[in-house]
Chains A and B, each alone.
Chain A
Amino acid sequence: MSVDTATVRHIAKLARIAMSDAEVEALVPELNNILGWVEQLGEADTSGVEPLATVIDQKLRLRDDVIDADPLTGGNVRDKVLLNAPDAQHGFFAVPKVIE
């Protein structure tokens, strides 16, 4: 499988990265080079092998169903959450207009 400029533009759109025509042109051979190299995985027989998503042999834990159980990740830290926002207004993250 190989990518062309249209595919690269499509992936860039999915990845939300603005790209100039020159950047797209440059990425086509680079991505093809890398994708060509990973093609060798096709030769490995993986029939009957379960995909390994994590090496940790444990069940995902659930947090206690308690409000503000953790002082860092719980609630009531609005100002801390907004501390690094490029634009915060009235206690919210502000973004360019979404609805006309």
Chain B
Amino acid sequence: MADLNSLTLAQLRDGFRGGEFSAREIAEGFNAAVAAARALNAYTVETPEDALACAEAADAARQSGALKPLSGIPLGIKDLFATVGVDTTSGSKILGGFKPAYESTVSAKLRDAGAGMLGKLNMDEFAMGSSNETSTYGPVISPWKRSDGGNAALTPGGSSGGSAAAVAAGLAPGVTGTDTGGSIRQPAAFTGITGIKPTYGRCSRWGIVSFASSLDQAGPMARTVRDCAILLEQMSGFDPKDATSLDAPVPAWERGLSSDLKGKRVGIPREYRIDGVPDEINALWDQGIAWLKDAGAEVVEISLPHTKYALPTYYIIAPAEASSNLARYDGVRYGLREVPEGGNLDAMYAATRAAGFGAEVKRRIMIGTYVLSAGFYDAYFTKAQRIRALIKQDFTRAFESCDIILTPTAPSAAFGIGEKMSDPLAMYLNDVFAVPASLAGLPAMSVPGGLDAQGLPLGLHLIGREMDEQGVLNAGLAIEERAGFTARPGKWW
């Protein structure tokens, strides 16, 4: 029998349906891989019994012919999704021991589709970070190593770093991630996997721990474009419990997959040629252009003139919304409580938040509180919202002359743990290509394109029109077929 942990989600689904192997065999294989990979620190909680119970239900369903779309498939769930009775901590000490009495809409949909849960995946605290180093559980270690023999521990990216490492290391055939400013796409690029952030509102945010509500969006990460399409179909859909949920039908994205791009125009934004980006990244970008041409697309140069303002805009809007969202962690309703000797209610709030939040979360709450405070609100927050409007307008204009936009995913390959931690600004720059699409709420995806000179994965990034996940997936498929990316990290853990 094939090594089940190395198969794609589609292969597992189809093999299980065809009777090549049982759901129990799939679950046991992944449970064992998860237990054997603790050196990666990808999972914060392991739930092997859950995966097995769902597998048994799937095997029974196969007997009775009542299969669901994800029957037999165990998934890893990012620790940002509320899961009934299973610790949900958002990588933060302040939510230590929090066991929700409810299930997030997205994870509930995946469960209703038959999927089991392998465990909860490590992440940057409250999804604030690009390297997983802000997690209270310590960083996730990428399964990848540089080929220089230096053996440096590398980051899998962030904030969905546990999710990315789990897929790359064969610890789950698919996972959930969330993306506020690139948190699905950058880790996907760093670990040689595929991840898509859909149009804002496609996936319900209900039961997902909030970071920046106008930006947060869930999405799948998996080995292939097809696997992402399969998962996204099950995660998406209108939810009356989320006021920003899109009331729109969910297309059959898997069935709609086609890598024939004839008649499509691919836009290359000239402002994304940024000084200081390594030649390897630009060379891969050029290679991506050639692949899309080969798939039948016409390539056009476009302009997104406000690109340079996207990152600073993001680092006003996201912390502002975060400072407001994270006000709920006050030691009263859930999580940590610290009361100084003889302290009153105010002292309890301040002590609880001081003890419960890590340095990066505090930094962003402070920035957010500052830009929202009296006297600065207009100068910073309203200004940023106006520029956000211009950035969205840039994309609307660009999509008059193209159907899809191709860029690199990140300005470098994975960096070493600790290499950028001392400089918040350098860390923020990691999301320079990912953030504009987030601000505009557009669907965007990272697909592995090749390896750098150190043997580390590099990703290509596709941005589509609002609601055009199919266009993004199809262009991603065209790249995937041509890149023939099969590299895997050598097993050292």
Contact = CB atoms under 8 A, between A and B. Distances in A.
Given A8-B366, A85-B334, A19 B425 contact: no
Nearest to B372: A14
A49 B200 contact: no
A32 to B, nearest CB: 11
Contacts of B441: 55-56
A52 interface: yes
B349 A16 contact: yes
B87 to A, nearest CB: 11
Interface in B309-367: 309, 312-313, 315-316, 323, 327, 330-337, 339, 343-351, 353-354, 357, 362-363, 365-367
Q: Is chain B's binding surface mostly helix, strand, loop or mixed?
A: helix
Contacts of B330: 16
A67 interface: no
Of B200, B313, B334, B382, most buried by chain A (CB within 10 Å of CB) is B334
A66 to B, nearest CB: 12
B212 to A, nearest CB: 12
A72 B241 CA distance: 10
Nearest to B348: A96
Interface string B90-101: 000000011111
A22 interface: no
A55 B351 contact: no
A58 B213 CA distance: 16
23 contacts: A7-B370, A11-B369, A13-B350, A16-B350, A17-B366, A18-B347, A30-B363, A31-B366, A34-B425, A38-B384, A40-B312, A44-B306, A51-B386, A51-B389, A54-B244, A55-B200, A58-B246, A72-B241, A84-B99, A84-B100, A85-B332, A93-B333, A96-B347
Given A15-B369, A34-B425, A52-B389, A46 B312 contact: no
A97 B346 CA distance: 10
Contacts of B366: 8, 11-12, 15, 17, 27, 31
A90 interface: no
Contact of A34 (B101, B315, B357): B315
A87 to B, nearest CB: 7
A16 B243 contact: no
Interface residues of B, number: 71
**Majority-rule SS of A interface residues:** loop
A98 B309 contact: no
A86 interface: yes
Contacts of B440: 55
A46 B52 CA distance: 56
Given A11-B373, A49-B386, A53-B385, A41 B313 contact: yes
A23 to B, nearest CB: 8
Nearest to A94: B332
- How big is chain A's contact interface, by range? 35 or more
Contacts of B399: none
Nearest to A86: B337
B363 A86 contact: no
Contacts of A15: 323, 353, 365-366, 369
A52 B386 contact: yes
A21 interface: no
B240 interface: yes
A5 to B, nearest CB: 13
Interface string A49-82: 1111111101011010000001011000100110
A49 B390 contact: yes
Given A35-B370, A37-B312, A41-B384, 5 more contacts: A44-B309, A53-B214, A95-B348, A97-B345, A98-B345
A42 B348 CA distance: 39
A74 B475 CA distance: 43
A14 B366 CA distance: 9
A86 B332 contact: yes
